[in-house]
Amino acid sequence: MPSPEFDGDEPKSPYYWSDIADQRLSYIRAFTFRQQLNTAKVPPGRPYKDSSKQKELLFFNTTDAPDVHTFKKIINKSTINRLRDDNGWAIISTHLGKGFYRANNLDTEFRDSMEYLATQPGWFVPASQLLDFISKNTGEKEISTLERIKMEYLHVIDRIVGRFLRQ
């Protein structure tokens, strides 16, 4: 069966979404990366504009922990300490339905990491509040075509490496 055509990015389409996004959103998640907890170290390290995709909104990248096993590799006492010592920040994309809670029990390592994190000094706020703060302090920068290509390349490499590490 052929895949359906997507035309939500076409202004004349009845499925066009950009106008509604401009009215209701401030940020759109772009790329996710599994190799780094400190999202500040994921290029470009802050919210950014990409007018080739969306004129008004800011994009942001996140750390990707799609399941409990990946989460535990990325987020543990050691990486939390490194994030703290680097004065970094993190936005993590995860799916809490993927192994975090089984047989009426919360995964022990996940629970221990979250309890440890709660003891650390930090500013724990919704992603939009963090992104507003970062944007205010770093400014809103348009990424170049070269920067976009670099992020796309790094994202593909990250997916390939992540696939091999899961096997």
**pLDDT tens readout for residues 53-75:** 877 789 999 999 989 999 999 99
**Tens digit of pLDDT for each residue in 116-142?**
999 999 999 999 999 999 999 988 889
Is residue 26 one of the residues assigned to a domain? yes
Query: Does the residue 10 lie in any domain?
Result: no
Residue 88 in domain: yes
pLDDT value for 165: 64
Which tens digit of pLDDT belongs to each residue from 2-11? 556 777 878 8
Q: 148 lies in which domain range?
A: 18-166
pLDDT of residue 117: 95
| Residue 4, pLDDT score | 63
Establish if 1 belongs to a structural domain: no
Q: Among residues 28, 27, 101, which one has the least CA distance to residue 71?
A: 101
Number of domains in the chain: 1
Rounded Cα–Cα distance for residues 42 and 138 (Å): 15
Tokens 């499925």 locate to 15
Q: Cα–Cα distance between 16 and 143 in angstroms, integer?
A: 24
Q: Is residue 144 part of a domain?
A: yes
